[in-house]
Amino acid sequence: MSGTTSTPELASLLATKRVLVLCGPGGVGKTTTSAALGLAAARSGRKVLVLTIDPARRLADALGLPLSAPTPRAVPAERLAALGLDLGATSGSLEAWMLDPRVVFERVIRVLGTPEQTEKILNTTLFGHLSELAAGMLEYTAGEALYSFATEGRYDLIVLDTPPARNALDFLDAPERLSSFLEEGILKFFLPSEGSRFLAAAGKFVGGVFSRAFGDGFVSELQVFFGAFGGIFGGMRKHSDGVAALLGSDDAAFLLVTSPEEDARREAEVFRSELDRRNMPFAGFVLNRSLARLASWPHPSSFADSTPSLTSALGILAPIADEERREAECHAELLAELRAVAGERGFAVASPLLLDPGDALAGLVTLSRELVR
């Protein structure tokens, strides 16, 4: 990449990929970047969905969407029009959804189960608590939602905003973790054991513990739930394989968002190595909230002339400019280091540090234009 303000790589990703997964440490502006890139793709004429599992729900506030909705919602056209954007003119669209694990999991059960299995599972109180009971359920349902929307073909591009980097690794592992939980963990204690005296005894022991703690009715409900659930488990594994295949394909790309802070950069670089180990399609870095673009700006002294008042004013501003120039040059060096880490097949781009515009959506519009020109 020739310059800090040139973003052909990002434009190419947004124009050609079906799935863009944004990962990175917490607090680096990953959710905002996800929304800005989604908006940039919509401006170019693509039908875009931004999915987030960010518990802070900043995306809903920025896009003016409800905090909880059963399906994706379109960003209000009138809000975009007020900022000078008419997506209809390019046939583009932008929708977003705060991931609701219960909604996604219910959809999976209805798709994969028979009417009888579905009724049994959804009518148990355990269904409502499974997201707390099973490790990786939130991340698993994120993968399921991604798989569902990608196979529907309704959207040209899906931008997935993952949790902070360590939890994003959970997102990649979630299908296998959930499979292990159900296949090797609690499920085997509540299904009929086939010739195993140990499992039969263990099942009675576990059932006895639950009965004493919660009553016989709870154990019966567990047996009904897991008995019906076992019938759709094969379909869930097939979907998990589909998610893995999609994320590892040429249709997908992973973008790592970081910031000038040392800890954030180190964590992003570790995640880059992990993506390589998993053979996932890493695309590049976004150095967010950066002054790297200011490194080439002229110093105030270059504007000095014979006007005494102007010369005096520029002299007062010079120390501030010197400090900002030093920080900008440091950020430019960090950007160069990220490019080296990205290697020949990746890239690194600086995302500017913007002043708060007051209107979060206006800030997203500005950022989308700065990221992809």
H helix or E strand, kind and range, residue 50 = strand 47-52
**CATH architecture of the domain formed by 8-183+232-371:** 3-Layer(aba) Sandwich (3.40)
209 Cβ contact list (under 8 Å, min separation 6):
none
The two beta strands, 93-98 and 73-74, are antiparallel
pTM to 2 decimal places: 0.78
Kindly give the parts of the chain with pLDDT less than 70. 1-6, 54-59, 126, 128-138, 164-171, 174-231, 233, 295-306, 309-314, 355-358
Q: What is the pLDDT of residue 164?
A: 67
Cβ neighbour number for residue 261 with a 10 Å cutoff: 14
pLDDT at 5: 46
Nearest to 73, CA basis, from 98, 38, 105: 98
| The pair of three-digit structure tokens given for residue 3, joined into one six-digit string | 């310059």
Question: What is the C-alpha to C-alpha distance for residues 129 and 80, in angstroms, rounded to an integer?
Answer: 38
Q: Give the DSSP H or E segment for 132.
A: helix 130-133
Structure token pair of residue 92: 């583009």
Nearest to 287 by CA among 308, 309, 312, 269: 269
pLDDT of res. 306: 59
- C-alpha distances out from residue 336 to 36, 130, 259, 339, Å: 23, 45, 13, 5
Give pLDDT tens digits for 177-215.
655 555 544 555 445 444 444 334 444 544 454 444 444
- Residue 199 is predicted with a pLDDT of 38
> Position 218: which residue type?
F
Spatial CB neighbours of 71, under 8 Å, sequence gap ≥ 6: 97
Where residue 244 falls (left for φ over 0; alpha for ψ -120 to 50; beta otherwise) is: alpha
CA distance 97 to 324: 38
Express each pLDDT in 116-172 by its tens digit: 888 887 877 767 666 555 545 667 777 888 888 999 999 999 999 887 655 666 667
Give the DSSP per-residue string, 138-166. Answer: HHHHHHHHHHHHHHHT--SEEEEE-SSHH
For residue 98, give the DSSP letter: E
Contact in structure between 71 and 181 (CB atoms under 8 Å): no
Contact 48, 41 (CB under 8 A): yes
Q: For the residues of 265-285, what is the DSSP string, one character each?
A: HHHHHHHHHHHHHTT--EEEE
Helix (H, G, I), strand (E, B) or coil at 208: helix
Among the listed residues 92, 106, 95, the one whose alpha carbon sits nearest the alpha carbon of residue 72: 95
Residue type, 110: R
